[in-house]
Amino acid sequence: MSGFDKVVGSYAEAMAGLEDNMTVVAGGFGLCGIPENLIKEIKRKGTRGLTIASNNCGTDNCGLGLLLQDKQISKMIASYVGENALFEAQMMSGELEVELTPQGTLAEKMRAGGAGIPAFYTATGYGTPVGEGKEVREFNGRHYILEEAIQGDFSIAKAWKADRYGNLMFRKTARNFNPMAITAGKVAVVEVEEIVEPGELDPDEIHLPGIYVNRLIKGTFEKTIEQRTVRSA
Amino acid sequence: MALTREQLAQRVAQEFHDGYYVNLGIGIPTLAANYIPDGMQVMLQSENGLLGMGPFPLDEEVDADLINAGKQTVTMATGASLFSSAESFAMIRGGHVDLTVLGAFEVDCQGNIASYMIPGKLIKGMGGAMDLVAGADNIIVTMTHASKHGESKLLPECTLPLTGKGCIKRVLTDLALMDIEDGKFVLRERAPGVSVEEIVKLTAGELVVPDSVPEMVF
């Protein structure tokens, strides 16, 4: 790496420095737009005691679900964790701590974490279990709870296309949590389908500027579909 | 007769207006997209980052990068736009979505809704439901009026953990359409062939019955 070139040579290099008990912020929605190879690298490394913030935790055999197989995750911050038997078993046995977080609050927590905003007020979750123990304030006659930002030691994310400087473009709904997840990590690692030379992407069409990205790697992706639903012609 | 799933979806669609941006929850709400009246433009918001959701794809159109909030493969309608989850929930929290339709386990006459967790049984998470009920002004809850054992789901007070507090004003069940006003359910319409007495019997929360309660028209 030199100058603004963020490209690393291997997945081992991409995840170098990840240690036990660290916090990882991950992009993806269901299995769409997940950093599948970076997750596999964490599995290979065997890092344990991880706190992971991600909308979902994959399925039994896919995505972040892979890290449950060897019990590498100790705490999960997510909005929806259905469709995962292993997850349920580890949660029920107490091996896995779960902080259920509303989806919009989770996205905003990551955005705030990356934008230097320590906390924000939101109406979401007021008067529900999510609001318990949190500061409440009234603005214009409505109640809001104080939610704190999320920051990670690492972020792992998937984008579609990048230039070597880490300027990113996402594709369709595979964007989801990825841009915010990237900004919220001290070391932001992004895997993409294609890397081009700086200058080849139209600056007006870059979804996330390379300033947020520390390491970049090109991968090949399985892109597993959770619910293949079609109509007949 | 209690409404079928298809009839529930049809009745939901009667709440659509031309030019509405609508978020439809998983299940019956999603079916309402099949009943958008001809000549009416409604744009569907999917909270994972798509405004302008189209029908399911043909086999050859399937794209792993294009799914809805239920993780089903979808297509984009003409004039669609794509964005991040933060942008998506800015739309929702900022009150820019005209109508939200979602399911529930219980609703009470204070406008509280419980829809995401049955302690000790079902722990899947709230997804975007808490944001949707907190952010929208215009919400319709679709649900069955009572459990299979005849226990009312329209209560004086919800017993399950809440998804949102004091945010529900309209409930459509398989038996009736009700508004929530001043801490009471108000019966507005009944399913064809269902008597007011039947609805009263299966509504545990306080229910106001106006002089005239028309049958739903499909």
| CB < 8 Å to A31, chain B | 71
Q: Residue A84: which pLDDT band, with cuts at 50, 70 and 90?
A: confident
In chain B, DSSP finds a helix count (H) and a strand count (E) of 5, 15
Please tell me if residue A53 touches chain B, with a CB cutoff of 8 Å: no
- Give mean pLDDT, residues A181-208: 98
- For chains A and B, CB pairs below 8 A equal 173
At how many degrees (to 10) do helices A103-115 and B85-93 cross? Answer: 120
Which residues have CB under 8 Å from A204's CB, separation 6+? Answer: none
Please tell me if residue A124 touches chain B, with a CB cutoff of 8 Å: yes
pLDDT in tens, B32-73: 999 999 999 999 999 999 999 999 999 999 999 999 999 999
Q: Residue B124: which pLDDT band, with cuts at 50, 70 and 90?
A: confident
Q: CA–CA separation, B68 vs A229, rounded Å?
A: 10
ipTM value for the complex? 0.96
Cβ of B72 and A78 within 8 Å? no
Q: CA–CA separation, A201 vs A218, rounded Å?
A: 16
Query: A24-28, B24-28, B84-88, B176-180 — which is least confidently predicted?
Result: B24-28
pLDDT value at B93 more than 60: yes
Q: Residue A82: which pLDDT band, with cuts at 50, 70 and 90?
A: confident
pLDDT in tens, B167-202: 999 999 999 999 999 999 999 999 999 999 999 999
Cα separations in angstroms, A11 against A35, A42, A162: 11, 9, 17
Tokens of A182: 């990237």
- Give mean pLDDT, residues B121-136: 91
pLDDT value at B21 more than 90: yes
Which residues have CB under 8 Å from B188's CB, separation 6+? Answer: B176, B177, B178, B179, B210, B213
Chain A: give the shortest CA distance to residue B117, in Å: 10
Given its phi and psi angles, is residue A108 left (phi above 0), alpha (psi -120 to 50 degrees) or beta?
alpha
pLDDT value at A1 more than 60: no
Chain A: give the shortest CA distance to residue B83, in Å: 7
Nearest-by-Cβ selection for B58 from A79, A225, A231:
A231
Chain A: give the shortest CA distance to residue B136, in Å: 11
Q: Which residue of A has its CA nearest to B74?
A: A229
- Give mean pLDDT, residues B151-156: 98
Cα separations in angstroms, A53 against A27, A58, A151, A177, A178: 9, 12, 9, 10, 12
- Residue B100 phi/psi, 5-degree rounding, is -120, 135
Tokens of A107: 């996205």
**Which DSSP helix (H) or strand (E) runs through A179?**
helix A178-183
Chain A: give the shortest CA distance to residue B198, in Å: 32
Given its phi and psi angles, is residue B41 left (phi above 0), alpha (psi -120 to 50 degrees) or beta?
beta
Give yes or no for a contact between A55 and A104, defined as CB atoms under 8 angstroms apart. Answer: no
Mean pLDDT of chain B: 96
- Give mean pLDDT, residues B63-84: 97
Cβ of B166 and A55 within 8 Å? no
Q: HEC string of B170-202?
A: EEEECCEEEEEECCEEEEEEECCCCCHHHHHHC
pLDDT in tens, A144-180: 999 999 999 999 999 999 999 999 999 999 999 999 9
Cβ of A228 and B62 within 8 Å? yes
DSSP helix/strand/coil, A154:
strand
Q: Which positions 139-198 of A are in contact with B (Cβ < 8 Å)? A: 160, 170-180
Q: CA–CA separation, A69 vs A205, rounded Å?
A: 39
Q: Which residue of B has its CA nearest to A125?
A: B130
| CB < 8 Å to B95, chain A | none
pTM exceeding 0.90: yes
Give yes or no for a contact between A93 and A69, defined as CB atoms under 8 angstroms apart. Answer: no
Which pLDDT score is estimated for B119? Answer: 86
Query: A208-217, B24-33, B93-102, B156-165 — which is least confidently predicted?
Result: B24-33
Nearest-by-Cβ selection for A231 from B56, B134, B165:
B56
- Give mean pLDDT, residues B97-108: 97
Q: Which residue of A has its CA nearest to B124?
A: A82
Residues of B with a known catalytic role: 47
Please tell me if residue A225 touches chain B, with a CB cutoff of 8 Å: yes
Q: Residue A19: which pLDDT band, with cuts at 50, 70 and 90?
A: very high
- Residue A10 phi/psi, 5-degree rounding, is -150, 165
Q: How many CB atoms lie within 10 A of CB A225?
A: 18
